[in-house]
């Protein structure tokens, strides 16, 4: 399968713990996006990378959240000191830069903070 | 906030055409209309997009009104596997990248 891969699929953690998610984009896709989705809502944009540069961050991305994309390949999203409100599906998408680009999404990481 | 308005839910019989409407009355001249769908427990899947002209691909057809204030996604022969939440999105470019602003979408149920 050459689609966007996310790991883990599910994560259960206790409040206050740190968690890290990984996203492997489609190879040769130079853009990578992170979205968050809560139950019954559409996905919300968090941040995006062009190659290794993080070019935009949503105000939703508090300072407890950090994302990296070293070498412009895979990306990680870390949440420090998790809170119950962080419980959500975290989706990664990748694309090739274009005026009318199409995003290819992974299946997401479902985070539950107890 | 999402720049589109969609009905929250729709039903369609298997084998019939499913027509999903979307209003985007504040769309700008250079903004595209995108449709994605999300099947339960999966990430969103790109379906189709358009600027002014009607578009068709192997999945669906997109009809955009002449004033571009609304559009309709057509699934010509709906199957049970088309049951999903369908999102109509007007693209917002940030430094040239696609910042998709999803609304709540239309939950389409295909009935046998």
Q: Is the pLDDT assigned to residue B83 strictly greater than 80?
A: yes
- CB-side exposure of B5: number of CA atoms within 13 Å? 6
| Of residues B20 and A60, more confidently modeled | B20
The residue behind tokens 């369908």 is B86
Residues 6+ positions from B57 with CB-CB distance below 8 Å? B48
Nearest to A100 among B42, B45, B49 (CB): B49
For residue A83 the two structure tokens come to 């809170």
Please give, rounded to a whole number of angstroms, the shortest distance from the CA of A51 to a CA of chain B. 12
- Say yes or no: A61 contacts chain B, CB-CB below 8 A: no
Contact A31 B101 (CB under 8 A): no
Q: What percent of chain B shows pLDDT beyond 70?
A: 94
Contact A59/B at CB under 8 A:
no
B 25-54 → A contacts, CB under 8 A: 32, 36, 41-46, 49, 51
DSSP 8-state assignment for residue B96: T
Alpha carbons A51 and A55: distance in angstroms, whole number: 10
Res. A94: pLDDT tops 60 = yes
Task: Give the N- to C-terminal CA distance of chain A in Å, as an integer.
Answer: 33
d(CA A96, CA B52) in angstroms, rounded, equals 22
Question: B-chain residues within 8 Å CB-CB of A103?
Answer: 36, 44, 46, 98, 100
Q: Is there a contact between B97 and A50 if contact means CB atoms under 8 Å apart? A: yes
Residue A50 CB neighbours (<10 A): 18
- Out of A41, A56, A91, name the one closest to residue B95 (CB): A56
Judge contact between A79 and A65, C-beta under 8 A: yes
B98·A101 Cβ contact <8 A: yes
Instruction: Spell out which residues of chain B touch residue A48, defining contact as CB-CB under 8 Å.
Output: 94, 97, 99
Contact of A104 with chain B, judged by CB distance below 8 Å, is answered with yes
Greatest CA span in chain A, whole angstroms? 42
Neighbours of B91 (CB within 10 A): 22
Give pLDDT, residue A92.
97
CB contact under 8 A, B94 and A103: no
pLDDT in tens, A3-19: 999 999 999 999 999 99
| DSSP state at residue A16 | T
Residue A35 and residue A23 in contact, taking contact as beta carbons nearer than 8 Å: no
Taking CA B14 as the corner, what is the angle to CA B10 and CA B16, rounded to the nearest 5 degrees?
80
Among residues B96, B52, B44, which one has the least CA distance to residue A89? B44
Structure confidence by residue, pLDDT tens digits, A25-83? 999 899 999 999 999 899 999 999 999 999 888 888 889 999 999 988 999 999 999 99
């Amino acid at each position: 399968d050459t689609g966007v891969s996310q790991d883990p699929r599910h994560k259960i953690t206790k409040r206050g713990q740190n968690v890290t998610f990984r996203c492997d984009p489609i190879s040769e896709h130079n853009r990578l996006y992170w979205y968050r989705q809560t139950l019954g809502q559409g996905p919300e944009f968090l941040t995006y990378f062009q190659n290794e540069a993080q070019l935009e961050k949503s105000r939703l991305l508090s300072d407890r959240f950090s994302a990296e994309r070293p070498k412009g390949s895979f990306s990680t999203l870390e949440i420090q000191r998790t809170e119950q409100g962080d419980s959500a599906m975290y989706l990664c998408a990748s694309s090739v830069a274009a005026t009318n680009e199409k995003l290819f999404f992974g299946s997401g990481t479902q985070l539950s903070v107890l | 906030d999402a720049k589109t308005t969609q009905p929250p839910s729709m039903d369609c019989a298997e084998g019939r055409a499913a027509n999903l409407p979307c209003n985007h009355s504040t769309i700008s001249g250079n903004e595209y209309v995108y449709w994605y769908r999300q099947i339960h427990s999966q990430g969103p899947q790109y379906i189709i997009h358009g600027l002014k002209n009607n578009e068709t691909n192997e999945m669906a057809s997109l009809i955009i009104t002449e004033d571009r204030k609304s559009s309709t996604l057509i699934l010509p022969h709906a199957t049970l596997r088309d049951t999903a939440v369908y999102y109509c999105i007007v693209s917002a470019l940030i430094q040239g990248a696609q910042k998709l602003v999803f609304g709540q979408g239309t939950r389409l149920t295909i009935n046998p």
